[in-house]
Amino acid sequence: MRWVVNTLRDRSVEAHAKNIQVPDLSDSTMVLEGAGQYATMCSGCHLAPGYDSDELHHGLYPRPPRLAKAKHLDPKEAFWVIKHGLKLTGMPAWGPTHDDEELWSMVAFLKKLPDLSPEQYREIVARAPRDGDMTRMPMPGGAPEGHDPE
């Protein structure tokens, strides 16, 4: 049953994402913006480099993928999942609250994430621009130096 559900989900995402146009994801500003978004909105479930698990990640069913280890992420599919969410998984749809530019910045960061050490992750998140909906999220080794969540 698990195989059937996973296969149907994966094929559905692939079909929905196939005609999405991918922007240039190598833009360093885009990657930097995505780092802050990931730290705030994603790391609680998908973890950050240096985390093996935590209570939230361990308690979710199905367990979310560890995106810091996702070396072969399809940008179209990642964008579609971030925008629309995945039913019956706990993956929210961020499309209603974030514009496509913000969602693409997350995808740009996800492409870089598997190559980051915990130290590099903390450094890039510390440099990420802050906005009104971002709060400090736990990271390996604590909050980035000089970060004030208030």
Structural domain spans, the chain: 27-127
- How confident is the model at residue 49, as a pLDDT? 93
Q: Which residues, given as ranges, of the chain have pLDDT below 70?
A: 131-150
pLDDT of residue 98: 94
| pTM, full prediction | 0.83
CB 149 within 8 A of CB 139: no
pLDDT score, position 132: 54
- Assign domain 27-127 to its CATH architecture: Orthogonal Bundle (1.10)
The pLDDT of residue 148: 46
Task: Report the pLDDT value the prediction gives residue 124, as an integer from 0 to 100.
Answer: 95
Identify the CA nearest to 6 among candidates 50, 63, 55.
63
- Buried b / exposed e over 67-95, threshold 16 CB at 10 Å, is bbeeeebbbbbbbbbbbbebeeeebeebb
Residue 134, pLDDT score: 55
